[in-house]
Amino acid sequence: MSLKDRITEDMKTAMRAKDSARLGTIRLLLAAIKQKEVDERVVVDDVAVVAIVDKLMKQRKDSIEAFQKAARIDLADKEAAELIVLQAYLPARLSADEVTTAVKAIVSGLSVELGRPVGPADMGKVMGAVKAQLTGKADMGQVSAAVKAALAG
């Protein structure tokens, strides 16, 4: 069963259970998926769904931070609940050590491919290669920090 099908089934389950908070979050996710399909005239696969979930999670984290600064704990709690629902649709995340190891392997592979050591000027090339392999598997903020550390050292 594809991830999109699983989300649709979870929506039906939430409807039957009358779980309005979960249902609202799942509907928001399905709307974002449908929007991508309509905009790009494609049928999204699991990788694209994970990218959409990742994007929605980042928005929730930013909103939580903003609401906490504004002392709107009620809204921050609502966003945190949505974040928990969205996390269920992501694959298991890599640990910090696994991210660092993966980034180092990609940097050394890119260095061999270019025939020279990779430096800070190659940040864009490295991030492109890293994104292709680690999107949805790791927090991209953590990945970016690991890339900067690998290029600096």
CATH of the domain at 77: 1.10.1510.10
Do 18 and 74 reside in the same domain of the chain?
yes
The pTM of the full predicted model, rounded to 2 decimals, is: 0.73
Q: What angle do helix axes 140-152 and 96-114 make, rounded to 10 degrees?
A: 50
Q: What angle do helix axes 46-69 and 20-40 make, rounded to 10 degrees?
A: 120
pLDDT score, position 153: 66
Q: Which of 45, 67, 87 is the last residue of a domain?
A: 87
Question: Would you write out the chain's pLDDT as a tens digit for each of its 153 residues?
Answer: 889 999 999 999 999 999 999 999 999 999 999 999 999 999 988 888 988 998 999 999 999 999 999 999 999 999 999 999 999 998 877 878 888 888 888 888 888 877 788 777 778 888 888 887 877 677 777 888 888 888 776
Q: Which two tokens stand for residue 88?
A: 């269920």
Do 13 and 82 reside in the same domain of the chain?
yes
Q: Which two tokens stand for residue 112?
A: 């061999």
pLDDT score, position 20: 92
N-term to C-term CA, the chain: 43
Q: What does the DSSP 8-state code read for residue 42?
A: S
Do 100 and 54 reside in the same domain of the chain?
no
Decide: 72 and 88 in contact? Cβ < 8 Å: no
Do 82 and 136 reside in the same domain of the chain?
no
Do 68 and 10 reside in the same domain of the chain?
yes
Do 55 and 109 reside in the same domain of the chain?
no
Decide: 104 and 110 in contact? Cβ < 8 Å: no
Do 59 and 109 reside in the same domain of the chain?
no
Containing structural domain, residue 7: 3-87
Among candidate residues 43, 40, 33, 41, the one with its CA nearest the CA of residue 7: 33
Do 41 and 83 reside in the same domain of the chain?
yes
Do 51 and 83 reside in the same domain of the chain?
yes
What is the total count of domains within the chain? 2
Q: What is the CATH number of the domain that holds 144?
A: 1.10.10.410
